Amino acid sequence: MSKRPNVLLIMTDQQRADSLGCLGNALASTPKIDGLAKRSAVFRNHHTPHQICAPSRSTLFSGHYARHHGLTRNGVALPEGTRLITHDLKSQGYKTHGVGKFHFQPILAGKEHAMPDSNAFWALPEANGWRGPFFGFETVDILIGEAVSATEGGHYAEWLGRVAPDAADLYLPENALEKPPEDLEEAWKSAIPCELHYNSWITDRACDFLREHDGADPFFLLTSFPDPHHPFAPPAPWCYMHDPLDMPMPNAKQDELDAMPSYIAETDSEEAQGSYVEFLRNPGPPREQGFLQTTKRISDASLRLAVAHTYGMVSMIDDCVGRILTELHRQGFADDTLIIFTSDHGELLGDHGLIRKGPSPYRALLNVPMLMAGPGVSPGERSGITSHLDLRSTLQDYLDLPATPTDGVSFADMLADPVASARDTLFAEYHPRTRLETYNQTILTPEWRFTYYPKRSDWGEMFHLTSDLGEHKNLYFEPEFETLRDDFISQLKTDFPPAPDAGGVSIATY
Which domains can be identified in the chain, with CATH numbers? 6-424 (3.40.720.10)
Please write the tens of the pLDDT for every residue from 237-252: 999 999 999 999 999 9
Please report the pLDDT score of residue 276 as a whole number: 76
Please report the pLDDT score of residue 1 as a whole number: 43
Q: pLDDT at residue 483 above 60?
A: yes
Please write the tens of the pLDDT for every residue from 469-478: 999 999 999 9
Single pTM value for the model:
0.97
Please write the tens of the pLDDT for every residue from 204-229: 999 999 999 999 999 999 999 999 99
Torsion, Cα of 8, 12, 18, 22 (10° steps): -30
CA distance 457 to 232: 36
CA distance 468 to 460: 17
Cβ partners under 8 Å of residue 2, min gap 6: none
Q: Select from 380, 379, 391, 471 the least CA-distant residue to 423.
A: 391
| Chain centroid, CA 69 distance in Å | 17
Count CA atoms within 13 Å of residue 128 on its CB side. Answer: 3
Q: pLDDT at residue 489 above 70?
A: yes
Please write the tens of the pLDDT for every residue from 167-206: 999 999 999 999 999 999 999 999 999 999 999 999 999 9
Q: pLDDT at residue 131 above 90?
A: yes
Q: What is the mean pLDDT of the chain?
A: 96
Work out the average pLDDT over 415-426: 95
Please write the tens of the pLDDT for every residue from 69-124: 999 999 999 999 999 999 999 999 999 999 999 999 999 999 999 999 999 999 99
